[in-house]
Amino acid sequence: MALQIHEAWILLFVIPGLVTPAAINHEDYPADEGDQASSNDNLIFDDYRGKGCVDDSGFVYKLGERFFPGHSNCPCVCTEDGPVCDQPECPKIHPKCTKVEHNGCCPECKEVKNFCEYHGKNYKILEEFKPSPCEWCRCEPSNEVHCVVADCAVPECVNPVYEPEQCCPVCKNGPNCFAGTTIIPAGIEVKVDDCNICHCHNGDWWKPAQCSKRECQGKQAL
């Protein structure tokens, strides 16, 4: 019995020694990062310098071939020194343009302002309006506002008044003039005091009245 136990212990120590490093299969384990990096060093990338041109999308063009490097670029010709691109004289953008697109070689106006702005308000093309009683304006196709200001005649009175929504002053009481500080109506003679009778100049209402002395009433002869 003692002999059998001793032989079993000897077997346990001998069996592990039978497994050698050569018996381990390295394919069962992933490679280290260092090994993976060294394997990538063998990749060769294409070099198109002097052989072709590449656009923004990665497409390759042959020497002498015409292409567009990008959607908003001008056409180019592929040369050994790289793309040689056209530089056209683009049309000027309208100063009233409100929307510009850059989808081609030249910028393009897609929307022009179709209204006029005047004193903080917007008006449609060909729309007529009166910003004040004395102004008549129109929104022109050029997006500019042209106005005409009324030219008021000289009023025929010394006390004209401005009515709402009217441009020029009006003489509500008719033509008149000043006789001193007194306003007298035109067309009649007015006795302004005991000695003076006055009347307005015909048509020259802004001038002082013409007065003449008469025999003063109410005074007794000395």
Q: Residue 136 sits in a domain of what CATH number? A: 2.10.70
Q: Do 170 and 129 share a domain, yes or no? A: no
Which of 149, 164, 199 is where one domain is finished?
A: 149
- Please choose, from the candidates 69, 71, 75, 125, the residue with its C-alpha nearest in 3D space to the C-alpha of residue 96: 125
User: What confidence category does residue 46 fall into, taking pLDDT thresholds of 50, 70 and 90?
Assistant: low
Whether 41 shows a pLDDT value over 70: the answer reads no
Q: What was the pLDDT predicted at 8? A: 41
**What pLDDT, in 10s, does the model give residues 182-219?**
899 988 888 888 888 999 887 777 788 989 887 776 55
The range of the structural domain enclosing residue 209 comes to: 155-215
User: What confidence category does residue 40 fall into, taking pLDDT thresholds of 50, 70 and 90?
Assistant: very low
CB of 169 closer than 8 Å to CB of 162: yes
Q: Do 207 and 185 share a domain, yes or no? A: yes
Q: Which amino acid is at 90?
A: C
Q: Do 84 and 119 share a domain, yes or no? A: no
Q: Do 136 and 164 share a domain, yes or no? A: no
Q: What was the pLDDT predicted at 49? A: 65
In a domain, 182, yes or no: yes
Q: How many domains does the chain have?
A: 3
In a domain, 188, yes or no: yes
Burial of 4 (0-12, 13-18, 19+ CB in 10 A): exposed
pTM of the entire predicted model: 0.39
Calculate ∠ Cα 15-21-25, nearest 5°.
110
CB of 139 closer than 8 Å to CB of 146: no
In a domain, 57, yes or no: yes
Whether 33 shows a pLDDT value over 50: the answer reads no
